Amino acid sequence: MTDMLIDLLGFSLKTLVVFIIIALLLSIVIGIIKSARDPELSEESSKESYRFTDLKQKIYERKELAEKELKLMAADPAEREKLKKQMSSKKFRQKQSETQKEFYEKQLSQIKELESRNIFCPQNLFLLDFDGDIKGSNVAQLRREIDLITDVATEKDEVVIRLTSPGGMVNSYGLCAAQLMRLRDKGIYLTVCVDSVAASGGYMMAAVANKIVAAPFSYIGSIGVVASIPNFNRLMDDHKVDYEQITAGKYKRTVTMFGKNTDEARAKLKEELEAIHKRFKEEIATFRPQLDIEQFATGEHWLATDAKERGLVDEIETSDSYLERRISQTHKCAVQIKWKVNEKKSLMGRLKKFLTVRTWVKSIKKMLSENDWQQNINIK
């Protein structure tokens, strides 16, 4: 029995080695073929691209789909097949095209009526999404999207940003807010919609807008600065570990993780935080002069309904509701813009990826999932 198990194990190992060699050879051959077809793959490269979504068309198609389905559901079961054929006919599609034209004409007449009451209706509406992390790492995407908008937008247009961010690093969010300032500098009307949270650096971004629209239970505010750091000095002393730090400049390092922190160092860090907080308050006050900044720049946050009473937001409404209304009030185009990078890797880059453990785990997991008798196995 033992000999049979040893033979089986040996056969399995040999099979695995053969499989790895064949897969590696195939990967090399495929990579060479791809490189020959596309010379750009011989070097690491990336291609920027933008994705555009026609929001007016999207809303109309959703409405049209709902009407069709309701019509089919209301019809007699025996007549449904006949009705489906009618809906796919050329005559029906032509009628739908005429209906769509009437739909847009009705919107234009409503726009004229609104403008007669001095309500701003944009020529074009641009929608961006910003989902911020603590590092503010989406700033590259935000920059590219604003690059595109500032190339084509005018003072007659509106930009809406759906913003979600609890804040984060000072310099990153300062840069994010500065990117939004580019729109204001061009006189483009900017609206920020908050559905869940715009706090700290996220609120600094939102404050740049001409108007802040927030869902009732979203968190708003947190105009403050925080720094926290663990200190392992006593633990290191207990284990007789020395920590050496050499600096040039009295305040090159203040509070540290491993050294013994002094009251002077803590006071200096506190002074730096106060300086950042002062600049933070000045930034908010520049764009929202009606806000009693000293009263509300305490680091507290509020639900949007309470924040509105304090002057931190302008309207209580979800982004969905606001967008649907504003899209119907837009003269020409309502478009969502998203920037992304399509990376192209060189042959060596693909080989490195192929040889990584993570790639192998994914490949094995995929193979196992394709066998019905092993579908209960999960590799994590």
Q: Is residue 220 a contact partner of residue 301, using CB atoms and an 8 Å limit?
A: yes
Phi-psi region of 286 (alpha: psi -120 to 50; beta: other; left: phi over 0): alpha
d(CA 352, CA 334): 43
Query: What pLDDT, on a 0 to 100 scale, did the predictor assign at position 160?
Result: 98
pLDDT digits (tens, 9 = 90+) for 253-267: 899 999 999 999 999
Which of 91, 240, 250, 252 is an active site residue?
Answer: 252
d(CA 197, CA 13): 54
Q: Worst-scoring range by mean pLDDT, 77-91, 93-107, 273-287?
A: 77-91
Alpha helices per DSSP H over the chain: 2-37, 55-74, 80-87, 90-115, 139-152, 170-185, 201-207, 233-238, 263-287, 293-296, 304-310, 319-328, 347-355, 357-369
Establish whether 268 is a catalytic residue: no
d(CA 370, CA 30): 23
Answer whether residue 60 shows pLDDT above 50. yes
Better-scored residue on pLDDT, 55 or 16: 55
Query: What pLDDT, on a 0 to 100 scale, did the predictor assign at position 64?
Result: 86
d(CA 251, CA 249): 6
Which of 200, 218, 319, 328 is an active site residue?
Answer: 200
Query: What pLDDT, on a 0 to 100 scale, did the predictor assign at position 18?
Result: 73
Phi/psi of residue 218, nearest 5 degrees: -75, 155
Mean pLDDT over residues 10-28, rounded?
74
Phi-psi region of 127 (alpha: psi -120 to 50; beta: other; left: phi over 0): beta
Of the candidates 194, 211, 204, which has an alpha carbon nearest to the alpha carbon of residue 167?
204
Query: What pLDDT, on a 0 to 100 scale, did the predictor assign at position 80?
Result: 77
- C-alpha distances out from residue 43 to 29, 33, 35, 39, 343, Å: 17, 15, 9, 8, 11
Query: What pLDDT, on a 0 to 100 scale, did the predictor assign at position 351?
Result: 56
Query: What pLDDT, on a 0 to 100 scale, did the predictor assign at position 302?
Result: 98
Better-scored residue on pLDDT, 243 or 39: 243
d(CA 205, CA 142): 12
Answer whether residue 173 shows pLDDT above 50. yes
Answer whether residue 155 shows pLDDT above 90. yes
d(CA 175, CA 172): 5
Better-scored residue on pLDDT, 65 or 41: 65
Answer whether residue 380 shows pLDDT above 50. no
Phi-psi region of 55 (alpha: psi -120 to 50; beta: other; left: phi over 0): alpha
Angle between helices 170-185 and 139-152 (to 10 degrees): 10
Q: What value, to the nearest 5°, has the Cα angle with vertex 143 and ends 167 and 156?
A: 105
Residue whose pair of structure tokens reads 């300086």 in the numeric block: 275
**DSSP type of residue 249:** S
> What is the pTM for the complete model shown?
0.75
Tell me whether residue 367 is exposed, middle or buried, using C-beta atoms within 10 angstroms of its C-beta: 0 to 12, 13 to 18, 19 or more.
exposed
Mean pLDDT over residues 98-126, rounded?
92
Answer whether residue 11 shows pLDDT above 90. no
Q: Is residue 302 a contact partner of residue 221, using CB atoms and an 8 Å limit?
A: yes
Per-residue pLDDT band for 368 (boundaries 50, 70, 90) equals very low
Q: Worst-scoring range by mean pLDDT, 10-14, 81-85, 117-121?
A: 10-14
Query: What pLDDT, on a 0 to 100 scale, did the predictor assign at position 374?
Result: 36
Query: What pLDDT, on a 0 to 100 scale, did the predictor assign at position 82?
Result: 75
Establish whether 200 is a catalytic residue: yes
Beta bridge partners of 127: 160, 336
Q: Is residue 35 a contact partner of residue 42, using CB atoms and an 8 Å limit?
A: yes
> In the chain, where are the structural domains located?
58-115, 125-226+291-341, 227-290, 345-380
Of the candidates 293, 291, 288, 271, which has an alpha carbon nearest to the alpha carbon of residue 225?
271
Answer whether residue 149 shows pLDDT above 90. yes
Query: What pLDDT, on a 0 to 100 scale, did the predictor assign at position 222?
Result: 96
Sign, Cα dihedral of 293, 297, 302, 304: positive
Answer whether residue 289 shows pLDDT above 90. yes
Query: What pLDDT, on a 0 to 100 scale, did the predictor assign at position 98?
Result: 78
Per-residue pLDDT band for 376 (boundaries 50, 70, 90) equals very low
CATH number assigned to the domain covering 125-226+291-341: 3.90.226.10
Per-residue pLDDT band for 12 (boundaries 50, 70, 90) equals confident
Q: Worst-scoring range by mean pLDDT, 8-17, 54-63, 182-191, 283-292?
A: 8-17
Interacting residues of 133 by C-beta distance below 8 A, sequence separation 6+? 165, 168
d(CA 338, CA 189): 19
Per-residue pLDDT band for 113 (boundaries 50, 70, 90) equals very high
Query: What pLDDT, on a 0 to 100 scale, did the predictor assign at position 104?
Result: 87
